[in-house]
Amino acid sequence: MSSGFPRSVTMSNTEGYAAAGVDIDLEAAGVRTLIEQLTFRRSGAFQTIGKSGHFAGLVEFGDMALALAVDGVGTKMLVADALENWSTVGIDCIAMNVNDLFVMNIEPVAFVDYIACNEISLDKMRQIGEGLNEGARLANMNIVGGETATLKGLVTGLDLAGTCLGVQQKDRIVTGEKVAPGDLIVGVPSTGVHSNGYTLARKVALEHGGFDSVLPSGRTVGEALLTPTRIYLEALDAAAACEVHGMCHITGGGLLNFTRLSNYGFDITDPLPVPEILAWVGEQGEIAEAEMYRTFNMGMGYAFVIPEESLPALKRVVPDAEVAGVVVPEAGAYLRGERIR
Between the CA of residue 118 and those of 86, 121, 127, 132, what are the distances in Å? 16, 10, 17, 20
The answer to whether 218 and 84 are in contact (CB under 8 A) is: no
Q: How far is Cα 162 from Cα 150, in angstroms, rounded to an integer?
A: 16
Helix (H, G, I), strand (E, B) or coil at 109: strand
Q: How far is Cα 294 from Cα 51, in angstroms, rounded to an integer?
A: 24
Neighbouring CB atoms inside 10 A of 243's CB total 13
| Phi and psi torsions of 303, nearest 5° | -150, 145
Residue 209's identity, in one-letter code, is G
**Of the options 3.60.21.10, 2.120.10.80, 3.40.50.300, 3.90.650.10, the CATH number for the domain spanning 183-339:** 3.90.650.10
Sign of CA dihedral 18, 20, 22, 24: negative
Q: How far is Cα 271 from Cα 335, in angstroms, rounded to an integer?
A: 8
Q: How far is Cα 91 from Cα 84, in angstroms, rounded to an integer?
A: 16
- Radius of gyration from C-alpha coordinates of the chain: 20
Q: How far is Cα 73 from Cα 98, in angstroms, rounded to an integer?
A: 13
Q: Can you spell out the DSSP letters for 282-325?
A: HHHTT--HHHHHTTS-TTEEEEEEE-GGGHHHHHHHSTT-EEEE
The answer to whether 254 and 297 are in contact (CB under 8 A) is: yes
Q: What is the DSSP letter of 170?
A: G
The answer to whether 177 and 260 are in contact (CB under 8 A) is: no
Residue ranges of alpha helices (H) inside 115-265 are 122-139, 198-207, 221-225, 234-241
Q: Where are the domains of the chain?
A: 45-169, 183-339
Residues β-bridged to residue 159: 116
Terminal-to-terminal C-alpha distance of the chain: 26
- pLDDT under 70 in the chain at which residues? 1-22, 24, 51-54
Neighbouring CB atoms inside 10 A of 220's CB total 18
Between the CA of residue 110 and those of 48, 101, 142, what are the distances in Å? 19, 12, 5
Residue 127's identity, in one-letter code, is Q
Q: How far is Cα 154 from Cα 117, in angstroms, rounded to an integer?
A: 9
- pLDDT for position 22: 63
- pLDDT for position 2: 39
Q: How far is Cα 161 from Cα 145, in angstroms, rounded to an integer?
A: 13
- pLDDT for position 41: 82
What is the side-by-side order of every strand in the sheet holding 265-268? 246-249, 300-306, 184-189, 322-328, 265-268, 332-335, 338-339
- pLDDT for position 11: 39
**Of the options 1.25.40.10, 3.40.50.2300, 3.30.1330.10, 3.40.47.40, the CATH number for the domain spanning 45-169:** 3.30.1330.10
